[in-house]
Structure 1
């Protein structure tokens, strides 16, 4: 049905778009561990794309790409595990010992080596047969191993890495942090949701294979509702996953260094936090019109994640809340010094670092429960929150 193909198409677009945004949003030095997440989403989008390619015969234009998603799928579970592990352990570089995770992928490539080296004319014939009967994807043996065995190995690998992810997360969060910040809770929830979605997806995949096997050898082809439902569930799970990341990019900053800190380390974090916030205030970095998390972190010579943690520990919900708070405090000081006697509200907003007068009004009223002009007229100026 067209509606299901549209849903699949949206999942493909969201997965690949999110993967590229994650990859290019971070610089080379900051791409670990989110690079694993980007590759995880890209491969899933690529694999989902072949469902559409085969169904609508588009794979006929790219016969050399047929069977390429299968070995790549063997990288999906390791990438998910390495992402979770590196976030929890706050790893910053790839370890050579982790290369063994690519072994199933290498074996998958070797399994289909004969097909990959096949003359283009023969590949076109194989692809034509698949387009005519999509069941050939599972029935015809294109590699050294039968397709049903490849699927079983793939599912086994998925569940092995899922078990490893669950174990790593549960063991890590058993340790009570000395301090819990909003970022810590936010990322903790995200990691649990990430593994839950993978569990949901893998279970749906098992149901898809089971339903496909039943219908393939059954005369009751009209009873394909279970296959449609489970396939849609797979698409929805990745549509939700990629959409969640686009809506909540803060989870990509990672966990603050709080989970296993000693009291000495926790004190060090507090001191560092005070230092960074004080420097921003003393040098009035908040007045920069284009100030953002990355630009201020660069000026402070720290990572955006560390600055985000510092802002969180300074009792601000997010970066914009932090910046606007100090901008309106600065505006308040100018008002008390008689700035509005000589300048307009718009000039005051620009002097305080705001792009627009409306944004300045909203931030000022949120902090002082009155407009700048009302504040000026008051005999007793209200204290900042």
Structure 2
């Protein structure tokens, strides 16, 4: 074995270990803020398992490992690109959702599982016998197919087409998102760089594996499999696999679910605002500007959250909690309130509380409860502060306001 072959074998052996280790690292954090880790963990678990099978097939490895992985890993390869696509989308949207078209992404894997079900149900001894044949000559996967309906030749042709299509869709989605949300690159530079690195390496890897698959599909399978026509692309694929696995450690924030946290941007400094008569002085200008689309998005998110959850009724509710709940950077919220609405967050919050208190007054809350119950229900911690804010917004005390609407 020459030095290049030895190096490729060592890389291939390391791939399985690294991929499975990354999957184990991300798994405990599936319940963290970055729930997209469920797809990242699946992605590297699939790649690690596939690399482990690949290594044992090509290097006269452990037949038991081949027997265990062959029937289960082959269908999972169809999920390699779909879970990547779902991971990137979940990172962009910061939530996990399934659309009706998403089921098309997993359909090939599901159909393949049903196609190999007779093999999966056979005894381990039968699987072990096939494993010895595969290790002796990988061409035996064509001579002794494990599928019931389709053939290996079909999958070696269809899988590249399917994987390339999903990879293309992932890159288009990523491009459109950052094109339509240019501020995200500034607010989350680590996420931006990681997603492009992850997607581009993954797409390049898909291309090289597709070439290998198509080349192998054209070989004469009546003779011992010869990899000379695909060895270059196979080696490139191994290197890309390794680069993809190692790249995660260059972006450790992605492993620990920190996407939702505002990232440090040294070029940005938010200036303290000066409020006069509930408005920002004209000569105080922000050091950055949010696009109208972003302001509209923030407004919609806040309105829906306030209507559905009524967080302002909690007397400890702060802008920091709002930022955490909606995954909106604090400086974006500060810009929205101070320079778009021209009011402080505390004033906006108190307006919502007073409107709620007025609603309770109209519903007759004072017929059953005292004024103390009213201001507590409206989110105020003290009676004096409630009266002050109520008079500021209505020009009357709560009792005077109630007498007026009942007159």
Normalization by structure 1: what TM-score?
0.62
- Identify which range, 128-137 or 104-113, moves more after superposition: 128-137
The superposition leaves residues 331-378 of structure 1 with CA deviations (integer Å, 9 ceiling, x where unpaired) of xxxxxxxxxxxxxxxxxxxxxxxxxxxxxxxxxxxxxxxxxxxxxxxx
Alignment of 1:34-183 (within 5 A): 34-55=37-58, 56-60=60-64, 63-91=67-95, 93-95=96-98, 97=100, 98-144=102-148, 145-177=150-182, 179=183, 182-183=186-187
**Structure 1 residue 218, shift from structure 2 partner:** 9.6
Match of 1:261 in 2: 294
**Structure 1 residue 116, shift from structure 2 partner:** 1.1
The superposition leaves residues 38-96 of structure 1 with CA deviations (integer Å, 9 ceiling, x where unpaired) of 111110110111012223231246624322111111111211111111112222x4437
**Structure 1 residue 126, shift from structure 2 partner:** 1.8
Check the 8 A contact 1:18/1:41 in 2, yes or no.
Answer: yes
How far apart, in 2, do the equivalents of 1:103 and 1:264 lie? 34
**Structure 1 residue 300, shift from structure 2 partner:** 6.9
**Structure 1 residue 6, shift from structure 2 partner:** 0.2
**Structure 1 residue 22, shift from structure 2 partner:** 1.9
Aligned to 1:28, which of 22, 28, 31?
31
The superposition leaves residues 163-214 of structure 1 with CA deviations (integer Å, 9 ceiling, x where unpaired) of 221221122122254x456452332222222221122111111221244345
Aligned to 2:10, which of 6, 13, 29?
6
Check the 8 A contact 2:156/2:214 in 1, yes or no.
Answer: no
Q: Sort the Cα spacing of 1:251 and 1:313 in 2 relative to 1 into closer, same or farther, 3 A.
A: farther
Check the 8 A contact 2:323/2:333 in 1, yes or no.
Answer: no
Contiguous gaps of at least 5 residues in structure 1 = 270-298, 315-385
Aligned to 2:251, which of 248, 251, 259?
248
Check the 8 A contact 2:201/2:240 in 1, yes or no.
Answer: yes
The superposition leaves residues 232-273 of structure 1 with CA deviations (integer Å, 9 ceiling, x where unpaired) of 21121121112111121124533779895117839x99xxxx
**Structure 1 residue 122, shift from structure 2 partner:** 2.6
Check the 8 A contact 1:184/1:255 in 2, yes or no.
Answer: no
The superposition leaves residues 95-149 of structure 1 with CA deviations (integer Å, 9 ceiling, x where unpaired) of 3744553322211111111111223333232222212212212443221211010
Q: Sort the Cα spacing of 1:36 and 1:304 in 2 relative to 1 into closer, same or farther, 3 A.
A: farther
Match of 1:227 in 2: 230
How far apart, in 2, do the equivalents of 1:189 and 1:244 lie? 11
SS in 1 for 2:71: coil
Q: Is 1:236 the equivalent of 2:236?
A: no
Match of 2:342 in 1: none
**Structure 1 residue 305, shift from structure 2 partner:** 11
- Identify which range, 77-86 or 63-72, moves more after superposition: 63-72
Match of 2:312 in 1: none
State the number of aligned residues: 280
Check the 8 A contact 2:153/2:217 in 1, yes or no.
Answer: no
How far apart, in 2, do the equivalents of 1:156 and 1:51 lie? 21
Check the 8 A contact 2:20/2:48 in 1, yes or no.
Answer: yes
SS in 2 for 1:66: helix
- Identify which range, 210-219 or 4-13, moves more after superposition: 210-219
- Identify which range, 148-157 or 40-49, moves more after superposition: 148-157
How far apart, in 1, do the equivalents of 2:66 and 2:121 lie? 15
Check the 8 A contact 1:155/1:202 in 2, yes or no.
Answer: yes
